[in-house]
Structure 1
Amino acid sequence: MRGRPNLVLVHSPLVGASTWQSVARLLRARGHMAVVPSLGGVLADAGPYYARLAVTVADDIARRADGRIVLVGHSGAGALLPAVAHATAATVVGMVFVDALLPHPGRAWFDTVPTEMRDQLRRLTRQGMLPPWNEWFPPGTIEELLPDPALRGRFCEELPRVPLAYFDEPAPECPAPPPAHSAYLQLSDAYSAEASQAEREGWRVRRRRAHHLAILAEPEEVSATLEELIQGFAA
């Protein structure tokens, strides 16, 4: 039996690395090696964006993780994971998508969402840049998800402004992982379609009655479910 694979927890480019830090600490306490690369500032310059995001994660893996790894992506990071696997020299033995976009090689994010969402984001855009993610929603939405003021404050402080062009850029043509090396953790109703598609394709799927930011607000439950999902990659 080989040792446990290292876990690389990738946050959405729309938020900050703190979203994964509590889960990472709990996984380390359970004996796992867990690293959280930061994508802060990567989208500040002009595109192409996917390649730069993938290389940023791959460089962090080269510095802090070796051997076999499992990539874990939340939200928008799901679409990045195949490109990260292509960019890293490490051996990727599995991928876990946590309330995340599924890989969509050759297609832009805007190609995968309803027209209403595209129109909403275009209306919010000023000089090519979107406001921070928490300003995309009606007042009180983030307060409901993160009622603790200190936790919410740390989360909001990290939120970047993202170029609209990122959502128009096609994802790289990198192969998706095979079903035996894929898993999905659904946290919110918004990602029920992705979880169902993953299930149809033979992935291991777990569903929790939580919300999209449960990786930050409920790290104990999320880390325990992740540990269950990655057991199949450790053999």
Structure 2
Amino acid sequence: MVLAEPTILLVHSPLLTSATWDALRSHLEAAGRRVAVLDLRPLVESPSFHAAVCAAAANVTHGAPTVVVGHSRAGAYLPGIADAVGSDRLDVVSLDARLPHPGTSWCGSLPPERATWLREMAASGRLPRWDTWFPDVSLADVLPDPDQRRRVLCGLPELPWKIVSEVLPAPGRAWDSARHIYLQLSAAYQSTAERAKERGYQVRSLDADHLAMVTQPARVMDLLLSALEQ
């Protein structure tokens, strides 16, 4: 029996846009990989963001054998996506991502001081654009190419607070039976990668930065494919 080539489903952080995947997608497709990209922006006003994300993932993959890659804050939604996709052969890749926190919300998963900071940032029930969160950090240092920076930062959402306060459900069978891979890109996610290893994830690291899939897509692709082929 010939096994179907898996679809690599790329899921961006809710704070960013699908443009964060443009460079990596091009490299993967040039390498002969089948790629799907989930755009979360149209889903942010849904009554349940989690449910909308999971339904959209199932619709994109159509039950095909799948590799699911989630970046940053998308990590919290990977269990639900895994169960929605429902493949018998599933690899779930956390790319410099938060670990899932079933049974609690985004805000509830944070240390108290960080949760307070997030609440104080919210205005009129929405979080401000992510590129305004850290005024002391120059995004030109992270994304030095001006055209690339403009594409990545264009259309960043102001997320409704209901997304931050939504309690995420417990994972199901597909998540539990999947192979879990953690790919660390930045020093900021060192402790998260260590916790992932304690949970049984296969962990690999790259000395890069949080948006390396934008700025160094070939290196990130090599890291991803080598992990999948192990």
Q: Settle same-fold status: TM greater than 0.5.
A: yes
- What's the counterpart of residue 208 of structure 2? 210
Distance in 1 (CA, whole Å) between partners of 2:43 and 2:175 is 25
Alignment of 1:1-235 (within 5 A): 2-45=3-46, 47-62=47-62, 67-175=64-172, 177-178=175-176, 181-232=179-230
Change (3 A) 1:207 1:13: same
1:94 Cα deviation from its structure 2 partner: 1.0
TM-score, reference length from structure 2:
0.91
**Residue type of the alignment partner of 1:77:** A
**Does the CA contact (< 8 Å) of 2:82 and 2:175 recur in 1?**
no
Aligned-residue sequence identity (percent) comes to 35
Per-residue Cα deviation, 1:76-116 (whole angstroms, up to 9, x for no partner): 11111111122235445110000001121111112222222
**Does the CA contact (< 8 Å) of 1:73 and 1:100 recur in 2?**
yes
Where 2:38 maps in the other structure, the secondary structure is coil
Distance in 1 (CA, whole Å) between partners of 2:93 and 2:155 is 24
**Does the CA contact (< 8 Å) of 1:67 and 1:91 recur in 2?**
no
**Residue type of the alignment partner of 2:105:** A
**Residue type of the alignment partner of 2:35:** A
TM-score, reference length from structure 1:
0.89
RMSD: 1.9
**Residue type of the alignment partner of 1:56:** A
1:165 Cα deviation from its structure 2 partner: 2.2
Distance in 1 (CA, whole Å) between partners of 2:27 and 2:117 is 37
Which consecutive unaligned segments of at least 5 residues does structure 2 have? Answer: none
How many pairs does the alignment contain? 228
**Residue type of the alignment partner of 2:57:** V
Distance in 2 (CA, whole Å) between partners of 1:96 and 1:3 is 19
1:177 Cα deviation from its structure 2 partner: 3.4
Change (3 A) 1:115 1:43: same
Change (3 A) 1:120 1:178: same
Which consecutive unaligned segments of at least 5 residues does structure 1 have? Answer: none
**Does the CA contact (< 8 Å) of 1:43 and 1:163 recur in 2?**
yes
